[in-house]
């Protein structure tokens, strides 16, 4: 689960997503 969050963060950073816009709900949607 933690690995999935880490991959999601890496993906978001790769897409230049603003960090403050990264929320648990958004990460869960990305993982699923």
Q: What pLDDT does residue 20 have? A: 58
Q: What pLDDT does residue 14 have? A: 59
Q: In the chain, how many domains are there? A: 1
Single pTM value for the model: 0.34
| Rg, C-alpha atoms of the chain | 9
| Phi-psi group of 16: left, alpha or beta (phi > 0 → left; psi -120 to 50 → alpha; rest → beta) | left
CA angle 9, 15, 6 (to 5 degrees): 10
Q: Could you give the CA distance from residue 13 to residue 1 in angstroms, rounded to a whole number?
A: 18
Torsion of CA 15, 7, 31, 29, to 10 degrees: -40
The residues annotated as belonging to the active site are 21
pLDDT tens profile 1-32 = 678 877 777 776 655 555 556 666 656 665 55
Q: What pLDDT does residue 15 have? A: 57
Q: Which segments are annotated as binding site for ATP?
A: 25-26
Domain that holds residue 27: 1-31
């Amino acid at each position: 689960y933690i690995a999935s969050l880490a991959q999601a963060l890496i993906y978001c950073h790769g897409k230049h997503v603003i960090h403050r816009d990264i929320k648990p709900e958004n990460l869960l949607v990305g993982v699923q």
